[in-house]
Amino acid sequence: MTDLAGEALFGLPLPEIWFGLVFFVLGMFLFLDGFDFGIGILFATREDAEEKETLLAAIGPFWDGNEVWLVVFGGALFAAFPEVYANLFSRYYLLMFAILAALGLRGLSPEMYEEREDDQWRRYWGYAFVVGSALTPFLLGVFAINWLTGVAGIVSVPGVLGGLAVVALTVADGAAFLGLKTRGSLRDDASRYGTRAAVAYLGLVALTLVAVYVTTPALQSALLSLPVIALVLLSVALVAGYVVATRRGEYLAAFASVGGLVFGLVTVIAVTMFPAVDRATGLSVSEGIVSTLPLNLMTIMMALLLPIVLSYFGVLYSVFSGPIESGETYG
């Protein structure tokens, strides 16, 4: 029988597995809540009240569930790498508060928007919805790149470029999801915005990597490694696939392409960062991981719970699949 307190469960490389799991969960959040953010940004392009209701109805059943992945990300980081969690939240606490405020604004705005039929009221909360939807992915991108580079301050050139790249990626994500949920001119307009956003993402992520290369010499060899180069080339192929799929009306393929882009970006960050888990303090994955006993217990719990969570989301998206029907609203 395995000694849970003395050795890793089944001899598995648990520190590396949990490092990968933390970034997998972050990728799930950026992919699934990403289309919510993207639709919120595209909300600014619509003037017709019925079309705005259609956009809200498209994300209504999903957005609060999608945010579970952010909670899981924070919980996994805290449980597996508590010192990293503490360092990040103390170093970037203002950024964390800003992310939470933007998320709160994004979540509150649709609820308030639906409270009254007054035009001025809806105009104000519509603007708030767009701001919250754009600001959240931008700040998350800033956080991810700052974590990678270990920069002490909040604002940096790579961080700002990374934030803009994530915003563009969420617009492409939202447009692809709208391709699955809407019809007619609304879907056509969203597709045009989506293809532009996907191309913009490719340019912005390239600029981000160049900025990281220039400003962080310690990461230069990692950025020129074969896995990172392969992931960059894969991203180019996925953007091309997104554009082609969108023009052909194959929106599920376009949505899958965005998923590949999201996980490709997260993987680039993880591969470039590894074996460090907090470059600012020089902490490696093996140094930052919790002791063996709690790690083994957490691994058992995660092995039991993660399939249940994934199954729940599978059922959720199956139940609410298909285009929005005429007259369907956010509530």
- 198-224 pLDDT, tens digit per residue, is 999 999 999 999 999 999 999 999 999
In a domain, 286, yes or no: no
Kindly tell me if the per-residue pLDDT of 98 is higher than 60. yes
- Average pLDDT of the segment spanning 191-200: 97
Quote the CA–CA distance of 265 and 168 in Å, as a whole number. 13
Retrieve residue 70's tokens.
């952010």
In a domain, 319, yes or no: no
CB 39 within 8 A of CB 46: no
CB 282 within 8 A of CB 276: yes
CB 77 within 8 A of CB 213: no
CB 149 within 8 A of CB 212: yes
Task: Sort 325 into a burial class: Cβ within 10 Å, 0-12 / 13-18 / 19+.
Answer: exposed
In a domain, 124, yes or no: yes
Q: Hunting for tokens 């969690």 — which residue is that?
A: 85
Q: How far is CA 301 from CA 4, 82, 95, 307, in A?
A: 13, 18, 31, 11
Q: Give how many domains the chain has, as a whole number.
A: 1
Q: Dihedrals φ, ψ of 283, to 5°?
A: -80, 130
In a domain, 5, yes or no: no
pLDDT (tens digit per residue) in 273-312:
999 999 999 999 999 999 888 899 999 999 999 999 999 9
**Residue 195 belongs to domain spanning:** 12-275
Predicted local confidence at residue 2, as pLDDT: 37
- Average pLDDT of the segment spanning 73-85: 95
Q: How far is CA 253 from CA 163, 218, 238, 242, in A?
A: 25, 37, 10, 7
pLDDT (tens digit per residue) in 12-47:
899 999 999 999 999 999 999 999 999 999 999 998
In a domain, 106, yes or no: yes
In a domain, 317, yes or no: no
Predicted local confidence at residue 329, as pLDDT: 67
Kindly tell me if the per-residue pLDDT of 1 is higher than 50. no
In a domain, 77, yes or no: yes
Q: Hunting for tokens 């591969």 — which residue is that?
A: 271
In a domain, 198, yes or no: yes
